[in-house]
Amino acid sequence: MGRASLRVLSSKTAVRGWVPRTVDVCTAFIQGLPLNRIAPVYVQPPPQARAVPGTAWRQRKCAYGLTESSPALIVLNLTIRLGYLRVETDHAVLVLVLSGVPMFSAAVHVDDFKYGGVAKKVARFETAHRAAFDVGPVHVGNFTLMGLRITCDTDESSGKMVIVTDEDHYLMCTEEIDITAERAASRSVSVSTSELTSYVRAVGALLWASGQTQPLMACHSTLRARRFHKAVVNDLHAVNRVFRAAQASRGISLLSTAVVMPHRIVLFSDGSSIAASSASAQTGYLLFLASDVLMRGSLSPETPLVLLACGSHKQRRVTHV
């Protein structure tokens, strides 16, 4: 499932008071159907197999990354058997609508399901799921999905459900780059091979967090990613500063509140100017879902906004004199 799909579902389930649930398929690919291709697929055995050097295995069942992967077959089979509709913009999202009323929704990510709906339809889904596969326990209300900690809460003022998403545990266990005192004094010196490895790993962690729950880090993360081919010691310090800022922001979570009809898409975007020291500029955007009786014009200050997508990147075209 896409990130925007997960956030839309969280908002829509909050409207109906559907407590989110999750379950995963144990050893999903081992339970998959035989691989049916004209041309065979071969894989290199893992080191633990202690296979003779030069050995290749012919694959009998699907694996992660193939179009016939087991999760895709799960989605297809459940769609056909239970009468769900696959959302055209994201085929990993399933919905059940009866007489114009939403009754159930589910999203799939590899072998994890996040779903919710009326009690009868939820029970039907879980029964069909367990009949076809060996699955793990069902987690209700509070769980971790795709590294995201998802919690069900209640808004104090409205009494409606709010779904809270954070990565505090991920940010707190991510370590800063270790910079020796000698290296710290040489900020303009190019990084070593080992330092570049640590730098790339750290920036990757920042990019993941900024795309999930930390939109405030998006610009800083992408600026650091643009330095991979010319990183210096000063960039190591810059990454550590972003890490410390992210860890200091723990407790500031993404909130998925009830967004009711009529709703609208709200886009905020901005770009930086070209500076004397740089011939490029940066663009950033935030895309929200909002509910408001006024479909045109300014939003009221009380309008709740649910983040759908965010990002920051180098401007592809910049015109200047």
Tokens linked to 313: 């990147």
Angle at 185 between CA 174 and CA 240, to 5 degrees: 15
Assess whether 195 and 213 both reside in one domain. Answer: yes
Q: Which of 218, 248, 278 is the last residue of a domain?
A: 248
- Average confidence (pLDDT) over 16-41: 76
Assess whether 27 and 85 both reside in one domain. Answer: yes
Instruction: Write out pLDDT tens, residues 193-240.
Output: 999 999 999 999 899 888 888 888 898 899 899 889 889 999 999 999
194 touches 180 (CB < 8 A): no
Assess whether 159 and 176 both reside in one domain. Answer: no
Angle at 138 between CA 132 and CA 140, to 5 degrees: 145
Task: Kindly write down the DSSP assignment for every residue of 9-45, as one continuous string.
Answer: HHHHHHHHTPPPEEEEBTTTTTTSPBP--SS--EEPP
- Cα dihedral angle (199, 201, 206, 209), rounded to 10 degrees? -170
Residue 319 falls inside a structural domain? no
Q: Which of 130, 165, 200 is the last residue of a domain?
A: 165
- Cα dihedral angle (235, 240, 242, 248), rounded to 10 degrees? -170
| Total domains in the fold of the chain | 3
Model pTM?
Answer: 0.74
Residue 97 falls inside a structural domain? yes
Pairing of strands 93-98, 85-86: antiparallel
Of these ranges, 38-52, 288-302, 307-321, the one predicted with the greatest mean pLDDT is 38-52
Residue 41 falls inside a structural domain? no
Rounded Cα distance between 291 and 25, Å, is: 35
Contacts of 133 (CB under 8 A, 6+ apart): 25, 26, 28, 31, 74
Q: Which of 165, 196, 217 is the last residue of a domain?
A: 165
CA distances from 31 to 28, 79, 108 (A): 5, 18, 16
Residue 107 falls inside a structural domain? yes
Assess whether 208 and 156 both reside in one domain. Answer: no
In the structure, what pLDDT confidence band is assigned to residue 300 with cuts at 50, 70 and 90? confident
In the structure, what pLDDT confidence band is assigned to residue 133 with cuts at 50, 70 and 90? confident
Residue 44 falls inside a structural domain? no
- What single letter denotes the amino acid at residue 23? V
Lowest mean pLDDT among 73-87, 121-135, 282-296: 73-87
CA distances from 37 to 34, 245, 292 (A): 9, 50, 51
- What single letter denotes the amino acid at residue 262? P
Residue 115, SS3 per DSSP: strand
Assess whether 241 and 187 both reside in one domain. Answer: yes
Rounded Cα distance between 71 and 168, Å, is: 29
- Average confidence (pLDDT) over 275-301: 76
Angle at 217 between CA 143 and CA 314, to 5 degrees: 125
CA distances from 39 to 30, 60, 78 (A): 21, 12, 28
pLDDT at 83: 85
* Average pLDDT across the chain, whole number: 83
Residue 298 falls inside a structural domain? yes
Residue, of 110 and 103, whose pLDDT is higher: 103
211: domain range? 168-248
Assess whether 154 and 277 both reside in one domain. Answer: no
Residue 200, SS3 per DSSP: helix
CB atoms within 10 A of CB 12: 21
